[in-house]
Amino acid sequence: MTLKPLKMNKKVTLHDKNFVLFKTQDQINNTIKKIATSINSMNPINSVFIPVLNGSFMFTSDLCKELKILPEIQFIKVKSYEDFESSGKVTELIGLKDSLEGKTVFIIEDIVDTGITISNLYNKIKLMNPKEIYVVTLLFKPDKYNGGLDINILYGFSIANDFVVGYGMDYNELGRNLKEIYVLKE
C-alpha cells in the first residue's frame, strides 16, 4: 500500500456553505506554543484546566502537549450556538463535579465572541472559590465581545466578526476535524 500526502485544501464545503482557508496548521501550532510558554511562565500550582466542549477539544489537546505544568483537567459541555448565531443563552450539558476551591482555574475555549458563555462559566466558577480564574482561547473577537466582565484572557488570534470552522469548531456539527481554520466565504 502506498500512501500519498494530502494537499492542504484552500477551501471546504460544509452542508450548503463554502469556507476558505484562514489559519494554517503551522500558524495554529506556533500560536499554541506561545500560549503554552505564557502559561508555563506563570508556573501555576494546583491548577485546573476546564475545556469547554465540544469546540475546544483539539486546542486543549495540543496546548496540554506543550505544557511543563501538570494541571487537573475537568471537562464541561455547554451549548450556546445555533447555525451561525449565538442563541443568547447557555445550556449546560455536562457540568463540573470536583472542587475548585483555592485552585488556579483556566477556562479553555476555542473562540470567545459575545462573551455570553464565558461570563456564565466565569460567574459559576467564581462561586466555587478558586484562587484565580483565567480564560485561554485560541480565537478572540474583541469587536463582538460584550461579556461585561473584567477577565484575565490569554488568546492566540484576534479576529474580525467572521464565522469560522475547523480545528474543533463546526458548522452544524461538521468541520471539527479539520487541521486548519476556515472562514465563511459570502
Quickly state the pLDDT bin for 2 (edges 50, 70, 90): low
> What is the SS3 assignment for the chain?
CCCCCCCCCCEEEECCEEEEEEECHHHHHHHHHHHHHHHHHHCCCCEEEEEEECCCHHHHHHHHHCCCCCCEECCEEEEEEECCEEEEEEEEEECCCCCCCCCEEEEEEEEECCCHHHHHHHHHHHCCCCCEEEEEEEEECCCCCCCCCCCEEEEEEECCCCCEEECCECECCECCCCCCEEEECC
Average pLDDT, the chain: 88
Residue 162 falls in the annotated catalytic set = no
Domains in the chain with CATH codes: 18-40+49-184 (3.40.50.2020)
Query: What tens digit of pLDDT does each residue of 150-159 get?
Result: 788 999 999 9
The catalytic position among 26, 113, 143, 150 is 113
pLDDT at position 85 is: 60
* Residues of the chain above pLDDT 70, percent: 87
Q: Which of 74-83, 97-106, 118-127, 162-171 has the lowest mean pLDDT?
A: 74-83
Q: What is the pLDDT of residues 21-70, one digit of tens each?
A: 999 999 999 999 999 999 999 999 899 999 999 999 999 999 999 999 99
